[in-house]
Amino acid sequence: MGSTPDLGPPPRRITVDVAQVRRLVAEQFPDWAGLPARPVAESGWDNRTFRLGDEMVARLPSAAEYALAVDKEQRWLPVLAPRLPLPVPTPLAKGNPGAGYPFSWSINRWLHGEPASADGISDPVRFALELAGFLEALRNIDAADGTQPGKHNWFRGGTLRTFDPLAERALTALDGEIDVGPARDLWKSALDVPWDGVDRWFHGDVAQGNLLLDGGRLAAVIDFGTCGVGDPSCDLAIAWTLLTADGRRAFRERLSIDGPEWERGRGWALWKTLVTCARTRGRADGEAVNARRVLAGILAIR
């Protein structure tokens, strides 16, 4: 299987303020200089995001590692978008470093909606089927020349073994707080599940914040910074982190997921949830409680 890629140290993040965004736009896109700029309510982790007028959004990577995705999104989103059944971000312009900001950045068309939540989904099974239909369409796009897993997307679409050190550190931290035996057994089992080696397109971060709702229905999918071609099982983690039991069954059936891919997908959900549980241990807030709930669901027999 080759050597396991090194994730390296955590990214060194930078801050970006509205004044910088206004200067960048004025210097590089003077036709848009008069548009108001304001930070979005939920800016995200990888990018600092600002509304630009009513119909555009400026996305500025928060670290050098995340800036690696800018050229990829500019190249591939116009190719993917017409082949997908739901709206996705459309690049309108690519910005360059300036105004004290060191990376390339993007201006995309704004997509209306609110981030998905269990309470906001009006029909969990319909939501699961619509999401599965979107992912099926994405998987069926020609993967030739698509971007392989790498640092640009934190090795989404590659082997789960990349994340073994993270999972083991989380399990060690949680020892004594949860029964780590079943979690470790499930993780080790997922590491050994083979992939058929056929490249398919994947999103890479199918999470609540990247799924937009309108009237309780799935309306758009955003943030393709981790997209690429490879093993698409990384997109299945959402089955345990957001979908209901009925929705999860419908999701799997709609995508015709076989046993090995389903187990790899559960592995993706597991390591991410273990890391969250370890980071929030000792807390009793919503994030901590939800992470424990998700972990229990992952470990249950499905």
Task: Flag whether 10 is in a domain.
Answer: no
Nearest 10 degrees: CA dihedral of 57, 62, 67, 72? -40
Same domain, 160 and 269: yes
Residue 81: predicted pLDDT: 98
Does the pLDDT value for residue 278 go beyond 80?
A: yes
Burial of 286 (0-12, 13-18, 19+ CB in 10 A): exposed
Residue 159 is assigned to a structural domain of this protein: yes
CATH number of the domain to which 83 belongs: 3.30.200.20
Residue 9 lies in a domain: no
CA angle 164, 169, 170 (to 5 degrees): 100
Region 137-145 average pLDDT: 98
Q: pLDDT band for position 43 (50/70/90)? A: low
Confidence class for position 7, pLDDT limits 50, 70, 90: confident
Task: Please give the pLDDT value at position 32.
Answer: 98
Rounded to 5 degrees, what angle do the CA atoms 64, 152, 57 make?
70
Q: Are residues 102 and 185 in the same domain?
A: no
| pLDDT computed for residue 1 by the predictor | 38
Distance CA(10)–CA(60), nearest Å, equals 18
216, 255: one domain? yes
- Average pLDDT for the chain: 95
Asked if pLDDT for residue 139 goes beyond 70, the answer is yes
pLDDT digits (tens, 9 = 90+) for 206-247: 999 999 999 999 999 999 999 999 999 999 999 999 999 999
**Residue 40 sits in the same domain as residue 95:** yes
Last residue of a domain, one of 110, 134, 151: 110
Which residues, in sequence order, are CB contacts of 66 under 8 Å at separation 6+?
Answer: 11, 46, 47, 225
Q: What CATH number has the domain bearing residue 165?
A: 3.90.1200.10
Say whether both 213 and 67 belong to one domain.
no
76, 143: one domain: no
pLDDT at 6: 67
User: Is 80 exceeded by the pLDDT of residue 42?
Assistant: no
Nearest to 211 by CA among 113, 70, 66: 113
Name residue, tokens 């992912």. Answer: 135
pTM value?
0.95
Residue 293 belongs to domain spanning: 115-299
Please check whether residue 220 lies inside any domain of the structure. Answer: yes
- For residue 8, what pLDDT is reported? 75
Shared domain check, 252 and 161: yes
Asked whether residue 4 is assigned to any structural domain, the reply reads: no
Q: 174 and 295, same structural domain?
A: yes
Question: By three-state DSSP, how is residue 75 classified?
Answer: helix
- If one counts the domains in the chain, the total is 2
Among 80, 110, 140, which residue terminates a domain?
110
pLDDT at 3 over 60: no
**For position 192, what pLDDT does the model report?**
96
The answer on pLDDT for 4 being more than 70 is no
In whole angstroms, give the CA distance from residue 259 to residue 264. 9
Of the residues 110, 137, 153, which one is the last residue of a structural domain?
110
Q: Label residue 41 by pLDDT band (50, 70, 90).
A: confident
Classify residue 11: in a domain, yes or no.
no
Find the DSSP H helices in the chain.
Answer: 18-28, 64-67, 69-80, 124-139, 164-174, 180-191, 238-241, 245-255, 259-279, 286-299
- List beta partners, residue 87: none
Residue 1 lies in a domain: no
Structure confidence at residue 302 (pLDDT) = 59
pLDDT of residue 2: 43
